[in-house]
Amino acid sequence: MRMRVWVVYSVLLLIPFWRGEAETFSVDGKVLVLDESNFDSAIASFDHILVDFYAPWCGHCKRLSPELDAAAPVLAALKEPIVIAKVDADKHTRLAKKYDVDAYPTILLFNHGVPTEYRGPRKADLLVRYLKKFAASDVSILDSDSAVNTFVEEASTFFPIYIGFGLNNSIIEKFGVKYKKNAWFSVAKDFSEDLMVLYDFDKIPALVSLNQQYNERNTFYGPFEEEFLEDFVRQNLIPLAVPVSYETLKLMKADGRKIVLTIVEDEDEERSKELIKLLKAAASANRDLIFGYVGVKQLEEFAEKFDIDTKLPKMVVWDKSDDYLSVVGSESIEGEDQATQITKFLEGYREGRTVKKTFSGPSLMRFIHRSFDIRMVYIIVFVVAIVLLIQSFSKGGDEYHSVPNQVQTDHASSSVSEVESKEYKPGDKED
């Protein structure tokens, strides 16, 4: 009996050696190559790791690869390093399926093991500046004018910035944690009157929000209870007038407010730019609503769901479902005095003079979960054609014919459809 116990014990001791020791990783500035055998270990080894799920045949992936190689040593040298890794999703399909990879490249940022899809810039220098946000402290303490200016400059335009002047950092610590993925937070301890003039506030304590991408600045003077502070933070995560895009749709979805959506022919036309200025003024006075705009020329697939046969520009109220509200008597805001028409539209909405409408076709929320890509049509047609071809061959003999899998089909479709843009943009993928 003792011999049997000793044998079992010895076998248990040897199991780790049979399995092999767990792979150890070092932060050496190189892009890690991951697969099923070392993926979980790598994710557990680093607080921040950016993983590129790619396919060898994917054009976007080929362009991204050298950018990741260039960014890796810079991110590895941070005080709190960010590691870059890659997975051949074409080969390691179980990992791809586990993380819902259905287009290439799919880039996931794992913060303490929790994945978030990365949809930021892909050029090495911009990628580094973007990712520094996730390795930064929740709230930065700034002790001079130069520290404030440097913080703002390095934060760049990717995220809104909140600076508490004369505030205790414990007051906004909670928001720094909660909205870490969405904004920079800081507290300025020592600063001059010149800085007060520069950031346009005249008394302390004050919380200043900056959205450099949209050239917007707002100041909050209190009350500094949590409820009011969070309202200010949440409202300023989104600019006063939001251009509709994949990224901003995600932001708007996360916000609880309804959207006043203005549809124009072309966002870049001069008259549209003037209208956007009026929308910003209206948004400033109606902070319980989000004001967004979209051009048919820029995003027809989205805009056409709101009956663009009506004369443009037009306004609707959308609650991010498959329904929206049209205001009776304000179906279009075409004309000279658009400021008055916007006011009339808002009054009609608040007074309930609305008609509920439902659009047809796929749910608009699909636009939030994937890129807009006409290539999907080509892929579906190609798959159907292949299946029909195989079926016709099968009727003529007993020889076995394999059906292309999704990845092979996607690869073939890329040669059929030449719609890929030559410009490499954030979020570009090959399905």
Q: Which residues are known to be catalytic?
A: 58, 61
**Pick from 316, 311, 314: nearest CA to 356:** 316
State in Å, rounded, how far the first CA of the chain is from the last one.
61
CA distance 292 to 284: 13
- Return the SS3 of 428: coil
CA distance 284 to 290: 10
b (16+ CB within 10 A) / e for 39-54: beebbebbebbbbbbb
Question: Are 296 and 279 contacting, i.e. CB atoms less than 8 angstroms apart?
Answer: no
Two tokens, residue 363: 């749910």
Residue 112, phi-psi category: left (phi > 0), alpha (psi -120 to 50), beta (remainder): left
CA distance 254 to 80: 28
Q: How far is CA 28 from the centre of its chain?
A: 28
Question: Are 122 and 426 contacting, i.e. CB atoms less than 8 angstroms apart?
Answer: yes
Two tokens, residue 21: 């020791």
